[in-house]
Amino acid sequence: MFSVSLNKHGGFVPKRPLDATIQIGSPFACSAHGVPSANQPTLTEDSGMMRSNDLAVSTVRKDHGPNSEPSTSLSIIVPVYNEQYLVQSSLRRLELLGDSPLLSRIKVIIVDDGSTDRTPASLRRFRRSLFSDSVQGKFQWLFLRHEGNLGKGGALRTALNYADTELTVVHDADLEYHPNDLLRMIPLFVYEDADAVFGSRFLSGRFKRALFFRHALGNRFLTLLCDLASDLNLTDMETCYKMVRTDLLKSIPLESRDFRIEPELAIKLAKRNARIFEVPISYSGRTYQEGKKANWRDGLLAMGAILRFAISDDICKQDQHGSEILARLRRAPRFTRWMADTVRSHVGDRVLEIGAGIGNLTLNLIPRTLYWSSDINSLYLHELRRLEHTRPYLRTSAVDLTCGESFPKNREFDTVICLNVLEHVEDDLTALRNIWDALEFGGRAIVLVPQGQRLYGSLDRVLGHFRRYNREQLVALGESAGFRVEEILSFNRMGAAAWWLNGKVLRRTTFSLFQIKTLNCLVPLFKKLDRWMPFPPLSLIAIFKKLPVANPAPSRLSQAPLKPSVPYPEEHREAG
C-alpha cells in the first residue's frame, strides 16, 4: 500500500516512499471495525505506511453563516481490475469535485483488485503525475492492492477500513459514470437527512448512451425483484453510484465478493429503515468490445442474491450497543407494544427517555406535549432525529446516564423512562441520582432492569450487562438515590426460560430471526398467561417517585472506591 496526501496549501506530502507497495492478499482479512485484524498488516510510521488514525473525521457542517454553504467530506472507493487504458482518465475526472463548496475534504481510495494486465503500471504513472499537478488541497489519495482478485465486494470491504469521512461512494474505474453527478447527490444528505442516495440511469438524466435493450431490460427486471424483496420503489438497483453515510455503511455486514454486492447493499439498507433517495445521472455505457465485464451470468447470480438477502436478517454488525439484537427486536412490534402498554399508565406528558435506541419504544409512547429521546450511540441518534421531521413535540440529544451535565438543560420532566439501560452502567447509584435531578417533584422514574443473577450468561455479556437485579436490590438502590418506591412490576416470565436456554445452555450471542418472529406471534398469549406462570420474570420494572425532600446524599464515588451495587459474575470479570 502507498499513499499520497495534499497539504492545506495544495502541495503534496508523501506518506511513504513512492516506490513502496504492500500487497493485500486473501489471507489478510479486514477487521469488522476498521482496524487491522490479527491477520492484517499493522500500519506503523516505522514502516513508512500511513496509519488510519492519523486522519481526522469530518462531518456534515450545517452551522454555516449566511454567505457560506454547508459542506461535508467524501470517500470515493475505486475498485480497479484490468483497466490499464481507462483508469487514469477515470481518476482524472474526479478532480472536478475539488471545486465544489459542498466538499471540505475528498479521500480517494483506489483498490487494484489483483489486476493481471498493466493496470499497476498505469496507477504508478498516475501517482507520479500528482506531484506535477495543481490539484486543490482538499484531496487525499490512497492506493491499495490485492494479491488476488477478491471481486468488487472484496475491494469495497478493504477500502472501507480506511474511509474516515462522513459519506462514501463507489466510482468504477471505467468511463461509464460521470463524477459531476456526485454533486447532485450530496445536498440530499445536507437538506433531506438522507442515509443513502442512488444515482439512477433510468430516470431522466442529462444524457445516456443508447445501448443493449436486453441488458437494460435485465437491469429493470432485477430492480423489480429487489423492490419486491425490499418493499422499495427503486428504478436502478444495479447502479454503481450508491452514496451512503459512512458510519451506516460500516455497520452493515457485507458478504458478497462480486457484483452481488449491489442487491445486498440495497436490501440491507432497506431492512435498516434507511432513508433512500434517487437522483437521475448520466450514463455512457460500454460495449463488450470496449471492455464491459457484466454478463448474463452476473444476472443469474444477482437473482440468487436477491432471494438470499430477502430472507436473511444479518443486517447489523455485532457491537457493544447490542445493535444486532435491537434490529431484530424491531421485527417483534407486538413485544415492544406489550412493554409500552405495561408502563403507559405511569407515563406523564413531559418525558425524557434514556437509551431510546432506534426508537422502538418511543414510537409506542408518543405523542406527548414534550418527548425527549436520547442515546449515546451516534447511529441511534441519527435514526431518532429522523423522527423529528413530522413530530414537532419530539426532541433528540445525546445523554450519558452517568454524566449529569449531558442531561437537557433548564428542563424538568414529569417522567424519565430508563428501560434496559441501568444494567449497562457500572455506577448505577450515580446514574439513578442523575435521573432524580432531572425530574420535577412528584415526577416518576420508570426503570426496567434484567432480573435474576442466575440467568447471567452469554447474552448478557455480549450486551454489556454488568449485573442482573433482584427485587430487594432494586428497591434498596432506588431508596438510596432518594426515591420512594411506588411499585415493582414483574415482566415477561415466559421470556426467562428462553433467555436461560439461549444464554446459559446454548451460549448464544443473539436471538435467531425465527425466535424473534415466534415471540411476536405468541405475545398475545404471553400477555394473558404471564401473571400465572410459575417462572421468575425476565425483567423487573420499578416505578420510582421523587418526593419534595432534601437532595439525596452525595454519590458514593466521592466516599468509596467505585464498585457496582451487585458483584460482577465471575465469567464477566474474566472477560475483561
| Total domain count, the chain | 2
Q: Mark which of 270, 286, 311 sits at the end of a domain.
A: 311
Q: 3-class SS at 76?
A: strand
pLDDT tens for residues 349-402?
Answer: 999 999 998 898 999 999 999 999 999 988 889 889 988 888 999 999 999 999
Last residue of a domain, one of 311, 341, 364: 311
Same domain, 292 and 414: no
Same domain, 296 and 327: no
CATH number at residue 528: 3.40.50.150
In one letter, which amino acid is 132?
A: S
- Please, which residues have CB within 8 angstroms of residue 252's CB and are 6 or more apart in sequence? 265, 268, 269, 272, 315, 316, 317
In a shared domain, residues 360 and 233? no
167-170 and 242-245 beta bridge pairing? antiparallel
- Residue 264, pLDDT score: 94
Provide long-range contacts, Cβ within 8 A and 24+ apart, for 214-222: 218/296, 218/299, 222/263, 222/299, 222/302, 222/303, 222/306
Show which of 288, 311, 334 is a domain's final residue: 311
Structural domain contains residue 317: no
Kindly report, residue by residue over 515-573, the tens digit of the pLDDT.
888 888 999 999 998 888 888 999 999 999 998 865 554 433 333 333 344 444 444 33
* Amino acid at residue number 389: H
CA atoms within 13 A on the CB side of 92: 11
Residue 452 belongs to domain spanning: 323-575
pLDDT in tens, the chain (576 residues): 444 443 333 333 333 333 334 444 433 333 333 333 333 433 322 222 333 333 333 344 444 444 556 789 999 999 999 999 999 999 999 999 988 999 999 999 999 999 999 999 999 999 988 865 555 578 999 999 999 999 999 999 999 999 999 999 999 888 888 999 999 999 999 888 899 999 998 886 565 555 556 667 777 888 899 889 988 999 998 899 999 999 999 999 999 988 899 999 999 999 988 999 999 998 876 554 555 556 668 778 888 989 999 888 888 887 666 666 667 777 788 999 999 999 999 999 999 999 998 898 999 999 999 999 999 988 889 889 988 888 999 999 999 999 999 999 988 899 999 999 999 999 999 999 999 999 999 999 999 999 999 999 988 888 889 999 999 999 999 999 999 999 999 999 988 888 888 888 888 877 777 888 888 899 999 999 888 888 899 999 999 999 886 555 443 333 333 334 444 444 433 333
Q: How many CA atoms lie within 13 A of 265 on its CB side?
A: 31
Whether residues 467 and 445 share a domain: the answer is yes
Q: Do 154 and 8 share a structural domain? A: yes
Query: Is 426 domain-assigned?
Result: yes
Task: With respect to residue 75, please indicate whether it lies within any of the assigned structural domains.
Answer: yes
Within-domain flag for 334: yes
All cell numbers assigned to 287: 460495449
Taking the C-alpha atoms of residue 388 and residue 396, their distance in angstroms, rounded to an integer, is 8
- For the chain, the first-to-last Cα distance in angstroms comes to 34
Calculate the CA dihedral of residues 144, 147, 148, 154 and round it to 10 degrees.
Answer: -30
